[in-house]
Amino acid sequence: MFNLADKVALVTGASSGIGYGIALTLATQGAKVIVAARRVDKLKSLVDEIKKAGGEATAVQMDVTKKSDIANAVASAVKTYGKLDILVNNAGVVNWSTVETLTEEGWDKTLDTNLKAYFFVTQEAVKAMEKNTPSGGRIINIASIASGGVGVGFNGITDYCASKGGVVGMTEALAIELAPKGILVNCIGPGLIISEMTQAIVDDPKQMAGLAGRIPLKRPGTAAEIASAVVYFSADESSYTTGATLYVDGGWLAN
């Protein structure tokens, strides 16, 4: 099950954290992976790790807020591997600011990276995926439990929560629009996952103790645990699933 041999995937924000884990896992399941991010040096390390494990990967420098970079990344996938089957929109930023201190520049950076870029990377990827007849393609968006509508809000990251709520809504709309093309669109909402973005929180005993009290499994998750959900949405076995959001959160939302 969940064999991704002969599939080609593009993972944005792959230089660290969740994106790194997703790219590595997709490769171990047989996919050929285009790993994209701004930090090329870290991408090279990822490519080396994938190749040592027997997988195939190519690094592409990509700022998801630049449409020229987006077009180049998708074109690189098609040029290198002949097609694009899977897109994982993962690149993201968080900007800790109160309602009094959040600037317009900060708001725009968060929404441009976490939401606007997801749409325009998807738009470019669809051009390639619609040529995959009859298989279509798979688009997986990484949102968050901090996405509104599910009872979780976080103080000091209003712009982040707004962007991730937008990702969930966008996923549902795109799933409807792209279904006739055979392109399935789904979303994953991680809870507290160990990454560069959350390392300071995880390393703070007081903060971690408070958060653990809200997580039935009493621990943060790992990038590999998010990657496993991505594999499901990428595989043939999820062929009747589209427009869904899967929360991988250690039970947070159930608590």
Give per-residue pLDDT as tens, 85-143.
Answer: 999 999 999 998 999 999 999 999 999 999 999 999 999 999 999 999 888 999 999 99
Tell me which of 153 and 171 has the higher pLDDT.
171
Mean pLDDT of 65-70: 98
User: Is 140:168 a contact under the CB 8 Å cutoff?
Assistant: no
Nearest Cα neighbor of 121 from 191, 69, 70 is 70
| Ordered structural domains, the chain, with CATH | 8-249 (3.40.50.720)
What's the pLDDT at 209? 79
SS3 of the chain: the string is CCCCCCCEEEEECCCCHHHHHHHHHHHHCCCEEEEEECCHHHHHHHHHHHHHCCCEEEEEECCCCCHHHHHHHHHHHHHHHCCCCEEEECCCCCCCECCCCCCHHHHHHHHHHHHHHHHHHHHHHHHHHCCCCCCCEEEEEECCCCCCCCCCCCCCEHHHHHHHHHHHHHHHHHHHHHHHHCEEEEEEEECCECCCCCHHHHCCHHHHHHHHCCCCCCCCECHHHHHHHHHHHHCHHHCCCCCCEEEECCCHHHC
Span of 17-26, 158-167, 191-200 with lowest mean pLDDT? 191-200
20, 81, 160, 247: the catalytic one is 160
Q: Is pLDDT of 151 > 80?
A: no
160 is catalytic: yes
Span of 154-168, 202-216, 225-239 with lowest mean pLDDT? 202-216
Mean pLDDT of 157-180: 96
What confidence tier does 28 reach under pLDDT thresholds 50, 70, 90?
very high
Q: What is the mean pLDDT of the chain?
A: 94
End-to-end alpha-carbon separation of the chain, Å? 31
What's the pLDDT at 211? 78
What confidence tier does 61 reach under pLDDT thresholds 50, 70, 90?
very high
Mean pLDDT of 232-248: 97
What's the pLDDT at 98? 93
What's the pLDDT at 60? 98
Tokens of 83: 């097609």
What confidence tier does 152 reach under pLDDT thresholds 50, 70, 90?
low
Evaluate if pTM is beyond 0.75: yes
68, 74, 77, 83: CA torsion to nearest 10: -150
Mean pLDDT of 4-23: 97
